């Protein structure tokens, strides 16, 4: 029976309404929208109680984004945002998916629902098992569930036939224990959501600066002269970042925004902290908006570099920071020579901008020293994504704008603990030094061969080279590219297991057998044989801090992620010398092991108890680039886009609405873009529509073109939008079916979710 993957949806359009685009973000509307969601999911009284604990020093970490909390004062309303509130409401919902629900709804039937409807079914209450050949999940005991996992893992010919995925909400403690289990079992197949997210940043930053993380702290935003926000929509995805940008402006700094879309939040916002500012015209954030074409960033940055060089040659010492360059960097001459091989005339059309606009940006860069560059998925999900990030590092290095107050790199992370999971060893290619420490501490032989990342995992399952899939959180089938291909890959497995809070499509597109293991969420109390536990997480700026849930667990059958790892490990590793159960019953013991094996965690248990947490070491922040291959910060040579569009072809970027968290759909509105009650839409430029004989709200099919292959997603509505010519935008995950599995970034192997070549075909 072929279950629905979302590729060919029930073609149920939901009744689109188009509204004017608001002229500012946040403000009163954001508060009311948040309260509406919270009240609907959990009720008002419990909802207010929940929000009170969100991101407070003795509360729990918001399961939304990874934006940091202020080190000092935290206000009630300030430390949550509309979308943080929605994330919490979604987890704390009163709706339950019980064994009776599964008995009365077959998997095939559920697969016909939209992602929105699936998610709204609620929290899973008990471990569930789908036996081979059956179409209804059945109740199973934890013991039997673990024993099936142990049996299937031990039946494989090699541990490399199993895949252990992680999404980025998992705590440091659970992640550490998970990777330890997986490496004890014998593989490095630890793909994670980062492979689809900031892998390009990690790759570029490690090579150029010797650390895969950003260098700035929140405080730096108060001191920056210039902040450049590239390929990011913080009004929706990191709303609390707007407060930091507001501070930059209050202190006299300037902001450049580089984006194909005029995202409302970046243009103007109303501080939620200050009710007096909810009315009135709000604060203008962006000083210069560069409406770049999709994937035109390397071309733009290269023109800026060429203009900087021109000025420096004409007037030596007026642009470059020679002291910094001489003492800290490597490769300047090669960069300057390489710039001569590109001409501005050639590069300019790729940007879609005028030279005057780029000159203005260059002027701001030349005239300011303390520069922060922020970015997210608009830069990391292209074929030349690593080039994007290395090129912006070139600019910072020429200016010496790193390793000092108010300056540096700011990759804005997605999932709330995606950075911590990496620090804990969730990566298919952890360095030898990490593996050495594990071996020493736990006296075992750990695998050295690098494992599969996300894309390689899908290929391996598709080819039958991997047969067991275990997902620690996330929604693999919907988040990954090439939905139909990935669905077939999962169907090939002997067993698929998901450790989840809520029902999602990955539970419905399954292997021969499947298990759903329901776990506690962040907002819930975690009580073990040793009493109440807290967890720790690392935010986007390398601050590790504690998080402690306050709510009664949703169901008495839930286990923590840590306990689930211990259960799987005990059932699988019969001769293990690690006492998994003991570790899982006292998280201080896990933190001791982390301290013993990972640099930067000295006195972890003590420091984890400091309210507000502690900073991990960061060499780039300290102006030390010795961990790179050359021992210095490296200039690099980068390639602009090599796209060549045929007539009638468009570049498509897949983006998030204001009403979703990745594949979790909170609602059907994209308020800041004026689109209500519909997700199957394609944003298009007005002239492109005319040239292609398309009208507002025409029903179309989208066809992607890659290596002579076609992929089709049916039933989208055309929406006229302020977007550069030949660029289009659709929503993730509905359009993932169009992202070809082999279309990946060089080096980071990240799916090119922001560069998909499509044609728009009228019904």
Which residues of this protein are in contact with Mo ion, per CB under 5 A?
197, 414
Which of ligand MGD, Mo ion, none sits in contact with 517, Cβ below 5 to 8 A by type? none
Applying CB under 6 A, among 53, 259, 457, 636 the residue interacting with ligand MGD is 259
Q: Three-state secondary structure along 336-384?
A: HHHHCCCCHHHHHHHHCCCHHHHHHHHHHHHHCCCEEEEECHHHHCCCC
By CB under 6 A, the residues from 360 to 389 that bind ligand MGD are: 376-378
Nearer to Mo ion, 414 or 521 (CB): 414
Let me know if 54 is exposed, middle or buried by CB neighbors in 10 A (0-12, 13-18, 19+). Answer: buried
Determine if the peptide bond prior to 381 is cis (ω within 30°).
Answer: no
Output the CA torsion 697→699→704→708 (10° steps): -140
Applying CB under 6 A, among 55, 111, 167, 628 the residue interacting with ligand MGD is 167
- Return the residue matching tokens 């030094």: 433
Cα distance between residue 310 and residue 313, in whole Å: 5
Applying CB under 6 A, among 654, 685, 748, 752 the residue interacting with ligand MGD is 654
Q: Decide: is 195 part of the binding site for ligand MGD (CB under 6 A).
A: no
Nearer to Mo ion, 193 or 218 (CB): 193
Applying CB under 6 A, among 83, 457, 483, 547 the residue interacting with ligand MGD is 83
Q: Decide: is 492 part of the binding site for ligand MGD (CB under 6 A).
A: no
DSSP H stretches of helix in 586-678: 587-597, 604-607
Q: Are 192 and 166 in contact (CB under 8 A)?
A: yes
Nearer to ligand MGD, 53 or 662 (CB): 662
Nearer to ligand MGD, 208 or 660 (CB): 660
Smallest gap, in angstroms, from Cβ of residue 204 to ligand MGD?
A: 15
288, β-bridge pairs: 256
Which of Mo ion, ligand MGD, none sits in contact with 258, Cβ below 5 to 8 A by type? ligand MGD
Mapping DSSP to helix (H, G, I), strand (E, B) and coil, where does residue 410 land?
strand
Nearer to Mo ion, 203 or 401 (CB): 203
Cα distance between residue 520 and residue 525, in whole Å: 8
Q: Decide: is 455 part of the binding site for ligand MGD (CB under 6 A).
A: no
Number of residues that bind ligand MGD (CB under 6 A): 60
Q: Decide: is 286 part of the binding site for ligand MGD (CB under 6 A).
A: no
Cα distance between residue 504 and residue 119, in whole Å: 6
Both structure tokens of 701 = 């099919």
Stretch that binds ligand MGD, among 6-14, 24-32, 193-201, 667-675 (CB under 6 A): 193-201
Q: Decide: is 110 part of the binding site for ligand MGD (CB under 6 A).
A: no
Cα distance between residue 367 and residue 318, in whole Å: 9
Which of ligand MGD, Mo ion, none sits in contact with 501, Cβ below 5 to 8 A by type? ligand MGD
Q: How many CB atoms lie within 10 A of CB 501?
A: 24
Smallest gap, in angstroms, from Cβ of residue 622 to ligand MGD?
A: 27
Q: Are 173 and 420 in contact (CB under 8 A)?
A: no
Q: Are 65 and 416 in contact (CB under 8 A)?
A: yes
Applying CB under 6 A, among 7, 153, 224, 258 the residue interacting with ligand MGD is 258
Reference 683, options 713, 653, 643, 715; nearest CA is 653
Applying CB under 6 A, among 88, 140, 175, 292 the residue interacting with ligand MGD is 292
Nearer to ligand MGD, 497 or 739 (CB): 739
Q: What are phi and psi of 500, to 5 degrees?
A: -140, 160
Binding site for ligand MGD (CB under 6 A): 63-65, 83, 167-169, 193, 196-197, 230-233, 236-238, 258-261, 263, 292, 294-295, 297, 376-378, 414-415, 472-476, 479, 499-502, 504, 519, 521-522, 561, 653-656, 660-664, 732, 736, 739, 753-754
């Amino acid at each position: 029976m072929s279950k629905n993957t979302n590729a060919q949806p029930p073609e149920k359009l939901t009744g689109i309404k188009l509204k004017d685009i608001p002229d500012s973000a946040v403000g009163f509307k954001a508060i009311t929208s948040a309260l509406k969601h919270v009240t609907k999911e959990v009720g008002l009284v419990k909802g207010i109680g929940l929000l009170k604990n969100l991101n407070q020093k003795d509360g729990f970490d918001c399961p939304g984004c990874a934006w940091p909390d202020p080190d000092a004062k935290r206000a009630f309303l300030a430390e949550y945002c509309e979308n943080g509130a929605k994330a919490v409401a979604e987890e704390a919902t009163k709706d339950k998916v019980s064994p009776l629900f599964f008995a009365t709804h077959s998997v095939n039937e559920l697969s016909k629902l939209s992602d929105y409807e699936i998610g709204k079914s609620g929290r899973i209450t008990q471990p569930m098992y789908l036996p081979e050949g059956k179409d209804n999940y059945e109740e199973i005991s934890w013991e039997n569930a673990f024993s099936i996992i142990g049996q299937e893992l031990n039946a494989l010919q090699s541990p490399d036939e199993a895949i252990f995925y992680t999404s980025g909400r998992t705590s440091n403690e659970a992640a550490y224990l998970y990777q330890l289990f997986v490496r004890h079992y014998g593989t490095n197949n630890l793909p994670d959501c980062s492979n689809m997210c900031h892998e390009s940043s990690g790759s570029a930053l490690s090579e150029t600066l010797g650390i895969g993380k950003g260098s700035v702290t929140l405080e730096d935003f108060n001191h920056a002269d210039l902040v450049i926000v590239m390929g990011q929509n913080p009004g929706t995805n990191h709303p609390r970042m707007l407060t930091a940008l507001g501070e930059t402006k209050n202190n006299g700094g300037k902001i450049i925004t580089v984006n194909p879309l005029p995202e409302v939040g970046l243009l103007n916002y109303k501080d939620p902290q200050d009710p007096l500012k909810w009315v009135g015209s709000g604060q203008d954030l962006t000083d210069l908006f560069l409406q770049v074409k999709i994937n035109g960033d390397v071309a733009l940055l290269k023109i800026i570099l060429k203009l900087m060089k021109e000025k420096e040659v004409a007037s030596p010492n007026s642009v470059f920071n020679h002291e910094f360059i001489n003492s800290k960097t490597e490769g300047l001459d090669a960069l300057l020579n390489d710039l001569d091989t590109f001409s501005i005339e050639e590069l300019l059309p790729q940007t879609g901008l005028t030279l005057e606009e780029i000159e203005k940006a260059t002027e701001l860069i030349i005239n300011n020293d303390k520069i922060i560059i922020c970015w997210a998925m608009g830069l990391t999900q292209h074929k030349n994504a690593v080039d994007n990030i290395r090129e912006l590092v070139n600019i910072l290095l020429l200016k010496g704008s790193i390793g000092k107050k108010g300056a540096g790199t700011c990759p804005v992370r997605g999932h709330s603990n995606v950075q911590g999971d990496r620090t804990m060893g969730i990566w298919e290619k952890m360095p030898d030094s990490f593996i050495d420490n594990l071996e020493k501490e736990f006296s075992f032989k750990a695998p050295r061969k690098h494992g599969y990342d996300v894309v390689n995992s899908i290929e391996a399952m598709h080819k039958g080279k991997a047969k067991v899939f275990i997902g620690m959180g996330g929604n693999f089938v919907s988040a990954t590219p090439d939905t139909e291909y990935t669905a077939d890959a999962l169907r090939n497995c002997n067993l698929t297991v998901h450790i989840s809070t809520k029902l999602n499509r990955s539970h419905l597109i399954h292997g021969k057998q499947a298990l759903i293991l329901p776990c506690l969420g962040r907002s819930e109390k975690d009580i073990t044989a040793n009493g109440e536990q807290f967890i720790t997480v690392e935010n986007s700026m390398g601050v590790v801090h504690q998080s402690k849930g306050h709510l009664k667990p949703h169901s008495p059958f839930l286990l923590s992620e840590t306990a689930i790892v211990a259960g799987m490990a005990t059932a699988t590793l019969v001769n293990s010398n690690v006492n998994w159960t003991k570790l899982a019953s006292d998280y201080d013991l896990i933190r001791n092991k982390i301290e013993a094996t990972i640099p930067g965690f000295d006195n972890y248990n003590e420091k984890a108890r400091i309210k507000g947490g502690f900073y991990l070491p960061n060499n780039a922040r300290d102006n030390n680039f010795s961990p790179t291959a050359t021992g210095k910060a490296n200039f690099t040579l980068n390639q602009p886009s090599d796209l060549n569009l045929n007539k009638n072809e468009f570049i498509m970027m897949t983006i998030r609405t204001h009403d979703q968290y990745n594949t979790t759909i909170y609602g059907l509105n994209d308020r800041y873009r004026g689109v209500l009650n519909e997700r199957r839409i394609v944003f298009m430029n007005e002239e492109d529509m005319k040239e292609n004989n398309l009208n507002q709200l025409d029903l179309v099919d989208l066809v992607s073109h890659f290596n002579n292959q076609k992929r089709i997603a049916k039933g989208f509505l055309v929406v006229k939008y302020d977007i550069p010519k030949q660029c289009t935008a659709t929503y993730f995950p509905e359009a993932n079916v169009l992202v070809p599995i082999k279309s990946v970034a060089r080096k980071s192997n990240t799916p090119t979710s922001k560069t998909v070549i499509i044609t728009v075909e009228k019904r």
